[in-house]
Structure 1
């Protein structure tokens, strides 16, 4: 007789389908573009970048590109097939990680249904890592290392062969040139090495740990691959205030609930095994504790904890004294409940991108603002540009030479995070920041922030970029572009400035025209310019239609 988990194959395959749907989500990481910029530079110069060349703020400053090998691979794939090919690479890499997790769950004794459910929980709990990132390679190598170490733990004690030593050197040398996540591999190897020493199984893993740590130095930047992560770790308290991926894994964010479910499940399973059988492996307890702490403190590192927690939970819940055909009622109920909850959570949070699927989601990049800046490069080139942290990678890749960004997602810009945040707190702070940094062109997100003046709510930018000094020369659904009046010819500004038809301020513009304080002709000129730019655009043509409808209502009510 087959177990309940095996009989519920339809439910199990639904879990696999949900996992596949999650792994096939579009790319959304805006940082891929500064990686592609670095790869493009390497391809053009036949050298490794050692100083910054993309920004105006850090130009010439030292930069350790410890992800250079990943970037060159991305560059080759992108050159061959564009963003769809990069999406396919992302799916392939995450599928490889899922296959390794499947094997870990199988080796831990999880039945078929539990393996399917485990993959779905993993994909949900590690949702932040479900993107195209250099960490994709770290995740595969981390899972492969855990699989190898688990197999060694269960085998009789032995030394290591020259082949194993060579493999350790090769893997960690490769890993250190792909992504700095190799330090988590060293951490995992160190835990199992300590376990061997405490249980008197020999120093083989300790020697392999030393070899692996030395092998990581086989890269173009030498010891910098250790220095940069160390500096990064020291900066984490500050980074967690300003960068979402380095913030804590909060229970208040509903999309992180699966992580907390896995955390609770894994520690409960470990406690159950210790209380029931008193044979919880020391390595499992140490791995859970060591990776839970960074997973709870920072969203970015949660994937490493989830990847080890699920196999450990499966191993802890395996009851060697019970026949699989006679599973207890409670675990069966819990499995079904977990599966239903995971499916509902998937539908609630992750189905929206499939309504209009594309390999890359431009939600987090200023596509139209970048196009405007590139079109106006002859006038704007050489002027000092201000941009948000998360848009710098895309702008640096999309804009022509001579238009350096202010910041992007690289670690060298961490010192600018606080000044940028402080500048956005008050109009006075922003004015001082813009003048101190000699900013002539500012690209800023179009956010729904308002100031109440009289009976109206006016948009924030009227106060942070006052029209006496700044001209609004472009806007779209995501971005606003302002130009300093003193930095550009008056004729150029006159042809591009939006004086009345401005985002989130149309009620005020309507009143100004109706009361005779502004001309309907000025509004018509603004709408005509906006329509010429966005008519025919598949995403923003609707805004152009709405603009003309607004203009008709303004013209009808304008004084004669």
Structure 2
């Protein structure tokens, strides 16, 4: 299969122009069947707990009410609406609710991506881009707030790019989307930033006589978009909250999704990146100046932070579609047209069948978070002790919040800050044992809940003043206990002495 535009024979296309529908159905079906993958992230549990808190109190948080280390410290949830949605479906349907909600949002994202691509490219070319995008985003497709914002991101950037291709300003009807995005996820700041380079792309390509008028309209749109982003319970604070993430500094590389791309082993990102470079060299593809700048910016983000690979995967095709179409051939007009009546009937039938299949599968399949991040039995034992100061593994924080136990740390990294997060990491990994002992004393730690195989847990097994009271394959509990002794003389095997018979 190549990027060359190709006629699709009538007998091979079930419904002309229905590629977005089929993409959405397939993606949704795959994600529901593999639903437990969407629950692999420990943050999902505290997101739902906070969403339920918002529903119960009919207010959004302004301070931390969960941890014992930061209780009362200023903290806002820029993802409050997504948390409420997850909490609502969880209350109604258990873990099936967040799985289906996340799957719907992700399926809509790829269906919308396909819809924008078939406006310029053939169905086959659009499908290649969609498949590559799915491969790159798969590791970060989780039941978390960001996936609920992905369809909005695709529509927002897609419409801005479409306006630039038409040498026009974007419609003001997009502004409510920015307000919705700002309440779902903090990534709306990226949407605001992207207005400037796309506007510049439009102005460079426009006729000289039109540039001043277009510049004024884009400037008005940008100003209104900025105002729309402040339509949240926190007002301007939602916009300013991104500074706390950027201020995490040396803490970011310690978080898997924020680490730079690693090419030590072959990953889909490297394959796709090299494939794209090779194709551009082979076909001699050229891009307008600002499209090159935007594309390089997206690549830089993906190289600097693993989580940005999804942004590159979903937005690069939108940036490339129109220029590619001019060089490799236009899409068939029928592909970009709306569904015919028979197609609409078939689409409705497919949706009904899919809904029935989803209900049947959810009724017979048990969805549950990853047990590796859910120390169920250990926390049950911990709660019997009624302790208030527990030093926990970072990934256990979400489950502790959901279980009503105040954590030492959890996934709200912006709340704890760079120094605190780095210290906890150094302590739990024993990269600096002195930091561990300092934290134990400074926060008057009564017990520890760590991964059984972690270096710190191994140390506590041999540390005087601490006693192991519970351990399984996932977590181990040590309790501070005066008089607990573990020190002993190490066994020495002297090769010169005869072995005892």
Matched position secondary structure for 2:194: helix
Deviates most, 69-78 or 143-152: 143-152
Matched position secondary structure for 1:107: coil
- Partners of 2:420 and 2:445 lie apart in 1 by 15
Q: Hey, what does 1:466 align to over in structure 2? A: 462
User: What pairs with 1:304-343 in structure 2 (closer than 5 Å)?
Assistant: 304-313=311-320, 315-318=322-325
- Partners of 2:179 and 2:24 lie apart in 1 by 36
In the alignment, does 2:500 pair up with 1:481?
no
Do the aligned partners of 1:67 and 1:134 also contact (CA within 8 Å) in 2? yes
- Partners of 2:104 and 2:82 lie apart in 1 by 15
Do the aligned partners of 2:113 and 2:314 also contact (CA within 8 Å) in 1? yes
Deviates most, 365-374 or 119-128: 365-374
Do the aligned partners of 1:269 and 1:313 also contact (CA within 8 Å) in 2? no
| Pairing partner for 1:30 from 34, 37, 42 | 42
Q: Hey, what does 2:120 align to over in structure 1? A: 108
Deviations 1:310-342, CA, capped at 9 Å, x for gaps:
3445555446576999xxxxxxxxxxxxxxxxx
User: What pairs with 1:186-201 in structure 2 (closer than 5 Å)?
Assistant: 186-200=192-206, 201=211
Do the aligned partners of 1:196 and 1:205 also contact (CA within 8 Å) in 2? no
- Partners of 1:185 and 1:323 lie apart in 2 by 28
Paired residue total: 430
TM-score, length-normalised on structure 2?
0.77
RCO (CA 8 Å, sep 6+): is it higher in 1 or 2? 2
Deviation at 1:172, TM superposition (A): 1.3
Q: Hey, what does 2:426 align to over in structure 1? A: 422
Deviation at 1:470, TM superposition (A): 1.1
Do the aligned partners of 1:272 and 1:316 also contact (CA within 8 Å) in 2? no
| Pairing partner for 1:437 from 439, 443, 453 | 443
Matched position secondary structure for 1:126: helix
Q: Hey, what does 1:52 align to over in structure 2? A: 64
Deviations 1:255-283, CA, capped at 9 Å, x for gaps:
xx22223333445555667x56x5x2344
Deviations 1:30-53, CA, capped at 9 Å, x for gaps:
101221221222222222110001
- Partners of 1:17 and 1:95 lie apart in 2 by 8
Do the aligned partners of 1:385 and 1:443 also contact (CA within 8 Å) in 2? yes
| Pairing partner for 2:55 from 27, 43, 48 | 43
- Partners of 1:474 and 1:145 lie apart in 2 by 51
Q: Hey, what does 1:331 align to over in structure 2? A: none
| Pairing partner for 1:300 from 307, 323, 328 | 307
Deviation at 1:159, TM superposition (A): 5.3
- Partners of 1:120 and 1:407 lie apart in 2 by 37
Matched position secondary structure for 2:64: coil
In the alignment, does 2:141 pair up with 1:145?
no
User: What pairs with 1:116-135 in structure 2 (closer than 5 Å)?
Assistant: 116-135=127-146
CA 1:184–1:321 in 2, change beyond 3 Å: closer, same or farther?
A: closer
CA 1:448–1:75 in 2, change beyond 3 Å: closer, same or farther?
A: closer
Do the aligned partners of 2:163 and 2:169 also contact (CA within 8 Å) in 1? no
| Pairing partner for 2:401 from 396, 402, 418 | 396
Unaligned runs of 5+ in 1: 326-355, 450-459, 500-507, 509-560
Q: Hey, what does 1:263 align to over in structure 2? A: 273
Deviation at 1:285, TM superposition (A): 1.6
- Partners of 1:52 and 1:435 lie apart in 2 by 22
Deviation at 1:60, TM superposition (A): 0.5
Q: Hey, what does 2:410 align to over in structure 1? A: 408
- Partners of 1:136 and 1:441 lie apart in 2 by 36
Q: Hey, what does 1:179 align to over in structure 2? A: 185
TM-score, length-normalised on structure 1?
0.69
Q: Hey, what does 2:497 align to over in structure 1? A: none
Deviations 1:159-186, CA, capped at 9 Å, x for gaps:
56xxx32x23311111111101111211
Runs of 4+ deviating beyond 6 Å: 4-10, 12-16, 321-325
- Partners of 1:15 and 1:169 lie apart in 2 by 25
CA 1:397–1:73 in 2, change beyond 3 Å: closer, same or farther?
A: same
Do the aligned partners of 1:266 and 1:310 also contact (CA within 8 Å) in 2? no
| Pairing partner for 1:286 from 288, 293, 314 | 293
Matched position secondary structure for 2:476: strand
CA 1:302–1:24 in 2, change beyond 3 Å: closer, same or farther?
A: farther
Unaligned runs of 5+ in 2: 333-364, 491-501
- Partners of 1:174 and 1:259 lie apart in 2 by 30
In the alignment, does 2:87 pair up with 1:75?
yes
Larger Rg: 1 or 2? Answer: 1
